[in-house]
Amino acid sequence: MDEEATRHAMLVFGLSLLVGPAIGGLTGWLRNLFWGVGVGALLIGCAGLYAAATIGWHRYQSIAGTASVQGSLVEFVEERSKDSNGHTTVSRAPIVEYTAADGRKRRVKGLGGGLSDKEWGDPVEVRYSVADPAQALVADFQNMWGAVWGLGLFGLFPMMFGLFFTGMAIKEGRAHGRAAAPQRTATPAQQRWRTRGTVLANLVFVGGFAVCFLYPDERLGRALGAGFMTIGAGALLHFIVQSLPPAMEFEFRSILAIVGLGFLAFGYGAWMMF
């Protein structure tokens, strides 16, 4: 399902990895480093988010024409792939058997590494096309939305870094020929709130590492996911605290936002996929 949309999205994103640095380098040569990095990262980020949105929309439309049925895991098959250095990677892909409305039994292969917590005979949800029951996919997060999540990450982070460096470039341009703004001092009440918020954010941030080891679930992905999302929440809480008046310089606060969103995104993916 959605093979053509996936190829188109990957082509756009792949081209952005060539065009983005090229245009960014040219912009940096004509303007300055901040503008170059910002423009290049924004181009890659826009392409990644476009690719994620394209695959996500086509997947949403294709799911509308499917029916859900409970299949069962029948086996794992080994899949071998080589990287550019010739190193071979082996993964286990699940084979799920399902019975469509026409009564015929069919099999569908999931993505390598998927359903690793399942055993032979375990129930697995499958979605198949009503028009063509042979077209089916394993209905877990990795098989249905894994590509959207992955490309979304590859788009989100360059986009955030692009906005950060572009903002730095704009600020640097405005700063030339203008006197620096006077530094504001926090009042005692503001300082107390900032101190309390910082302590709370630190507790949440450090607690995330404890969650990774103490989360009551045998699945490593769930423990890491819960811990990473907690760490991300702590970083975002730091961002909110440092935004209280008198706020910290935005370029420093934005780093906390980027770290927080990053941990939340990776944590959610680990929670859903493993």
pLDDT tens sequence across 170-194:
887 776 655 555 667 778 888 888 8
Q: How confident is the model at residue 117 (pLDDT cuts 50, 70, 90)?
A: confident
CATH no. for 66-143 = 2.40.50
What is the percent of the chain with per-residue pLDDT over 70, rounded to a whole number? Answer: 94
Q: Using one digit for the tens of pLDDT, what is the confidence trace for 210-235?
A: 998 888 877 778 889 999 999 999 99
Domain boundaries, the chain: 66-143, 185-274
Considering only 34-38, 90-94, 131-135, 260-264, which range has the smallest mean pLDDT? 90-94
Mean pLDDT score of the chain, rounded to an integer? Answer: 87
Q: Is residue 144 within 8 Å of 123, Cβ to Cβ?
A: no
Task: Give the pair of three-digit tokens for residue 125.
Answer: 């949800």
d(C-alpha 198, C-alpha 253), whole Å: 13
The per-residue pLDDT for range 17-62, each reduced to its tens digit, is 999 999 999 999 998 888 899 999 999 999 999 999 999 999 998 8
Q: Are 134 and 127 in contact (CB under 8 A)?
A: no
Residue 84 pLDDT > 70, yes or no? no
Alpha-helical (H) ranges within 31-175 are 33-64, 141-175
Q: What percent of the chain has pLDDT over 90?
A: 49
